[in-house]
Structure 1
């Protein structure tokens, strides 16, 4: 028997996944979750429905505006404003992919370090979470000072670059600030997944002669995969609606206008509530589709993979 066959402790091999049929347990779960769903529907559902309805009417400060149907959506997707909308979608996708990738890799490394037993581990875990606890607006201001031409970044690197004065330096600065702030959040979620892995699994692998890389690849990554996917999903949904950092850094200039900035700009600055409602609805649909595709393609497999560890051998 190899260590791969001995991943699960013997006492856990006879366990089955808990199921909630339409019996007492299922009814109790429904009544427990029901109030939370009602609150979410009131807080989140109402603004979404209101924005969708407003997007069907013409722009203007008067409440009574003519019904224009899908004209605002057509203007955003392929009409006169389509170039601005799709440019913001590309910027949002760029920030999402780069920041989530960096935060996942850095967060995984931080979680592996914090999961080890050493003196001062509690203090390290508390200090790592400090960047995540700082409000995003405060983080943006601090990093904007750091990336100032007379700031610490240029002083350390010996350069004289105006980071927020051109396209790619501005994007790099925003990615650095966002990664610094939210990588600890990813590390916290992954650490929770690492702590539920039985130590006996690693002991059995070491007895069978598995090296550190084999233990990481064949034990740590598969067993921590559900936690990693949850962390990636949360951060991806958050990054798709990024607003604070690019707004404070550059006010959306130099190729840093995200979809959320475009929505606020159209609704408040340009006084186009109908077009802004269409943009906000499109943003919601974009985030929903991405989240649904992510869960369907990766999340279900992760849940099934985790459940297989509790099925009878």
Structure 2
């Protein structure tokens, strides 16, 4: 089963504004409109069976609405969409909210510190991570165009979290560090971490073929997950780009496209099995 692990889709009322924001922030022209219908059409055209739609609250007050939207998407498109909910360290009722979204069948949580307005090193996240171990997969945005010490998210901050919470299941977006790949190679990819996966999203448009090959070689093959960051990039184009730049065989490409289907807790509602410390 082919899965796109990293997509975004917005309510029709705000999709246009959300895409405009993405275009401005990342200096791109988004390939999609940002609506769920356009997302599913793009995935079907690429031969992708399912996609993970990531929702993130940019303020504490948006946690409930964002999670309600995630729940509604998953219910409306069974077998096509896996929705990830959200938390925010400023939202005081996070324990009850974790219980609520877990009961609703949400398997994962998206964190985007840069857009959500907190640092990944925020101590208020620590009890949330502790409570979420064995219950949710976290998809975490990592990196930006500024230096790690000035960035709310970076490979070093994620490495510290993984060391502190060895049972926390984490997908490090963008090969572990958007525009910080040298730092990801020095931190996240030098130690065996059985609780860590890497998605391929938003990397190839900014990389050389040599860098793509280096990143692919540094990651355990079974820990690589295909992601597009739609609506930023088209699934068909991204599949072609990573295969060509990485000089990947068809069998290796098939593995990257289907690895997500083997992730604990992603395609079923059972709790994620606890894992030994790395």
TM-score, normalised with respect to structure 1: 0.21
Question: Is the helix fraction higher in 1 or 2?
Answer: 1
Question: Is the strand fraction higher in 1 or 2?
Answer: 2
Q: Which has the larger radius of gyration?
A: 1
